[in-house]
């Protein structure tokens, strides 16, 4: 019998934040480990500059950055940076 996908409602974000940040900088903090996830997610974390759990980086907000964040949204926390 083939395995079927079962969604666990207690896991993952209930909903994603809307793309309200379009200018300025954002702080991206890794809140969960990339261990056990596929190569694409681990390479996305590496491309964001996150090397380990609880690591934090600041990037200029852009649509390409938003796409990378969306791919690993369950592993990171994004907050705007006050300048």
Write down the H helix ranges in the chain: 39-48, 63-71
Residue 37 lies in a domain: yes
DSSP state of 64: H
Across the chain, where does the E strand assignment appear? 25-30, 56-60, 76-80
Task: Please compute the mean of the pLDDT values over residues 21-37 and round it to a whole number.
Answer: 88
Q: Considering the domain boundaries, does residue 66 fall inside one?
A: yes
In a domain, residue 34? The reply is yes
Chain segment 45-60, per-residue pLDDT in tens: 999 999 999 999 999 9
Tell me, yes or no, whether 14 lies in a domain: no
Q: What is the domain range of residue 73?
A: 25-80
pLDDT interval class at 26 (50, 70, 90): very high
Total domains present in the chain? 1
- The answer to whether residue 73 is domain-embedded is yes
Structural domain contains residue 45: yes
Is 16 part of any domain? no
Domain contains 3:
no
Quote the pLDDT of residue 52: 93
Could you tell me the two tokens for 27?
């702080």
Is the backbone of residue 50 left (phi > 0), alpha (psi -120 to 50) or beta? beta
CATH number at residue 64: 3.30.1390.20
Q: What is the pLDDT of residue 78?
A: 93
């Amino acid at each position: 019998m083939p395995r079927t996908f079962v969604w666990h409602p207690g896991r993952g974000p209930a909903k994603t934040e809307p793309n309200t940040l379009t200018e300025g900088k954002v702080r991206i903090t890794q809140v969960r480990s990339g261990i056990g996830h596929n190569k694409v997610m681990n390479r996305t974390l590496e491309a964001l500059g996150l090397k380990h759990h609880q690591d934090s980086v600041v990037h200029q907000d852009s649509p390409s950055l938003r796409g990378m964040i969306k791919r690993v949204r369950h592993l990171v926390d994004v907050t705007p940076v006050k300048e």
